[in-house]
């Protein structure tokens, strides 16, 4: 039992770097020989490490000096001093813990305020954008972009335009936009031997390094970039091994800057020059930063439901235009558990966490490092196609934040919906290209998506080119 003359907090408050606290105490100590009473003055001071220390120098045991130990000290005053120090320190730790907890709460509140501010800014930016021709209200605006894309395709020009400046309309800007990253899978032709493929790998790695794009000339192991720690250094592209394809190029953290697009074009050219191809088995993955989604699960629900509402359109746009169809759903199946809605970020992550779904929330925790992964895109070695995939991912992500809580997403439209309509049309005996109202109806979902996620004619025209070179998914 220990008797202090004041509350431990009051005693602690008396102690400073220049001043000790001296107080009378009484306390008992129990050991193998029984109970002993200790009294006197205790002195509390601040030690070199800033912690409270209590001296037993002026404490005495009621049994007298030297009644127990041979060195003249029974140890009971020291035991009481330690107990006093523990009491004072315990209270101090509680205060520290409370301060730490308050600091965390303050950080959470600040992050939430930043999320609200980002949402308000996204809405303000949308309202401030110069008016562009609506694809929904102005069918001619869409048709012109579509016809231009088909003409490029017929004349042998690149189908999908590639931009090197302001390619994302601000969505991927370093200041005020979102960071993003890409993973570019590739294969080799089956005619290449194992030795030839290995040599090609080594050449790709060496040429990436010589171009100043990769940090070394190595063929890196799986997840080497993740293990090294992601960075926005422009020379942090890496060639990594992958068990499902010949190889994968993993980008650093990227922003919409000329060097980003120059490096992407160089990467694609190096891989192609050394025999790499975007086979039907390859995928393209786009990571988009979502720190401003915070713990507001309505933002995540909105993104999930927006993707579900345009699912059939998105999976058409996910096809590599160089191939005759999408690669299939084995590694990018539409998310089965669309928002119910989810009530927490952890629920979003738990139900949408897989390398086999189209929208992966594995890296979403409500932190500043959060990012969503769009996995439905086909692999491509065409910079314009990859840039279009980036723009679509950024546009969907930004639109969801802007519209959460104000604009409901469209009802789900599952992949294969338009293909079913096409088959029903053929079954009824209708043949030939769609025209008139049938064409307007068939393109309505795509045109709606363009108006929803893009504010620039260039981004819409780029996506329209992808649309012109692809077909509806079989589902």
Residue 103 lies in a domain: no
Residues 284 and 409 placed together within one structural domain of the fold = yes
Q: Are residues 170 and 286 in the same domain?
A: yes
Cβ partners under 8 Å of residue 387, min gap 6:
160, 162, 163, 167, 261, 264, 462
- Is residue 291 within 8 Å of residue 368, measured between CB atoms? yes
Among residues 96, 123, 152, which one ends one of the domains? 96
Mark whether 86 and 150 lie in a shared domain.
Answer: no
Same domain, 37 and 152: no
Does any domain span residue 213?
Answer: no
Residue 140, helix vs strand vs coil: helix
| Cα-based torsion angle of the residue sequence 25, 27, 29, 34 in order, rounded to the nearest 10 degrees | 130
Q: Which two tokens stand for residue 425?
A: 């049309």
Q: How far apart are CA 366 and CA 371, in angstroms?
A: 10
Could you tell me if residue 254 is inside a domain? Answer: no
Residues 339 and 444 in one domain: yes
Same domain? For 372 and 456 the reply is yes
Q: Which domain holds residue 311?
A: 136-187+278-468
Domain identity same for 90 and 144: no
Domain count, the chain: 2
Q: Which of 96, 120, 150 is the last residue of a domain?
A: 96
Indicate the burial class of 217 (C-beta count within 10 angstroms; 0-12, 13-18, 19 or more).
middle
Regarding whether 362 and 282 lie in a shared domain, the answer is yes
| Residues 72 and 183 grouped into a single domain | no
Query: Do residue 76 and residue 156 come from a single domain?
Result: no
Note down pLDDT in tens along the chain; length 475 residues.
Answer: 566 677 777 777 788 878 888 878 777 767 666 677 788 888 888 887 777 788 878 888 866 544 544 444 577 888 888 887 777 775 555 555 566 667 767 777 888 888 999 999 999 999 999 989 999 999 999 999 999 999 999 999 999 999 999 999 999 999 999 999 999 999 999 999 999 999 999 999 999 999 999 999 999 888 888 888 899 999 999 999 999 999 999 999 999 999 999 999 999 999 999 999 999 999 999 999 999 999 999 999 999 999 999 999 999 999 999 999 999 999 999 998 777 789 999 999 999 999 999 999 999 999 999 999 999 999 999 999 999 999 999 999 999 999 999 999 999 999 999 999 999 998 998 988 999 999 999 999 999 999 999 999 999 999 999 999 999 999 9
Which of helix, strand or coil describes residue 109? helix
Q: Do 84 and 54 touch, CB atoms closer than 8 A?
A: yes
**405, 463: one domain:** yes
In a domain, 297, yes or no: yes
* Closest listed residue to residue 459, CA positions, set 202, 155, 133: 133
Task: Using only the alpha carbons of the chain, give its radius of gyration.
Answer: 33
Does 399 reside within a domain? yes
Q: Last residue of some domain: 45, 74, 96?
A: 96
Say which residues have a Cβ less than 8 Å from residue 69's Cβ, sequence separation at least 6.
75
> Is the Cβ–Cβ distance between 200 and 274 less than 8 Å?
yes
Are 312 and 473 in contact, with CB atoms under 8 Å apart?
yes
437 & 356 share domain: yes
Cα 436 → chain centroid? 43
2, 22 Cβ separation under 8 angstroms:
no
């Amino acid at each position: 039992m220990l008797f202090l003359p004041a509350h431990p907090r009051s005693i602690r408050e008396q102690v400073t770097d220049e001043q000790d606290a001296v107080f009378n105490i009484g306390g008992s100590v129990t050991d193998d020989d029984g109970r002993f009473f200790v009294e006197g003055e205790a002195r509390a001071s601040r030690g070199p490490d800033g912690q409270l220390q209590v001296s037993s120098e002026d404490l005495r045991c009621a049994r007298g000096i030297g009644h127990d130990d041979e060195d003249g000290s029974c140890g009971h005053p020291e035991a009481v001093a330690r107990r006093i120090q523990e009491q004072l320190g315990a209270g101090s730790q509680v205060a520290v813990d409370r301060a730490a907890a308050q600091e965390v709460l303050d950080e959470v509140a600040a992050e939430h305020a930043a999320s609200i501010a980002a949402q308000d800014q996204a809405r303000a930016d949308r309202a401030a954008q110069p008016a562009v021709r609506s694809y929904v209200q102005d069918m001619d605006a869409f048709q012109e972009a579509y016809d231009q894309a088909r003409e490029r395709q017929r004349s042998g020009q690149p189908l999908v335009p590639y931009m090197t400046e302001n390619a994302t309309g601000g969505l991927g800007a370093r200041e005020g936009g979102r960071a993003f990253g890409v993973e570019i899978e590739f294969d080799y032709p089956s005619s290449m031997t194992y030795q030839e493929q290995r040599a090609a790998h080594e050449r790709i790695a060496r040429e990436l390094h010589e171009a100043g794009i990769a940090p070394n000339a190595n063929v890196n192991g799986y997840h080497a970039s993740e293990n090294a720690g992601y960075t926005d250094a422009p020379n942090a592209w890496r060639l990594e091994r992958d068990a499902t394809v010949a190889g994968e190029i993993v980008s650093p953290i990227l922003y919409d800057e000329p060097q980003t697009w120059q490096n992407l074009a160089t990467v694609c050219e190096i891989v192609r020059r050394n025999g790499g191809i975007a086979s039907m088995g390859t995928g393209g993955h786009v990571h988009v930063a979502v720190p401003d989604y915070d713990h507001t699960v309505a933002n995540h629900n909105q993104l999930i439901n927006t993707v579900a509402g345009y699912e059939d359109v998105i999976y058409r746009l996910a096809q590599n235009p160089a191939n005759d169809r999408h690669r299939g759903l084995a590694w990018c199946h539409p998310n089965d558990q669309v928002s119910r809605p989810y009530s927490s970020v952890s629920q979003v992550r738990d139900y949408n966490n897989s390398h086999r779904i189209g929208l992966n929330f594995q890296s979403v925790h409500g932190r500043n490092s959060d990012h969503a992964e769009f996995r439905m895109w086909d692999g491509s070695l065409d910079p314009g196609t990859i840039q279009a995939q980036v723009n679509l991912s950024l546009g969907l992500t930004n639109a969801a934040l802007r519209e959460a809580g104000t604009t409901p997403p469209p009802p789900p439209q599952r992949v294969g919906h338009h293909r079913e309509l096409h088959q029903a049309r053929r079954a009824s005996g209708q043949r030939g290209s769609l025209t008139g109202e049938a064409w307007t109806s068939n393109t309505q979902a795509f045109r709606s998506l363009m108006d929803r996620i893009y504010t620039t004619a260039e981004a819409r025209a780029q996506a329209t080119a992808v649309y012109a070179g692809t077909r509806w998914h079989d589902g």
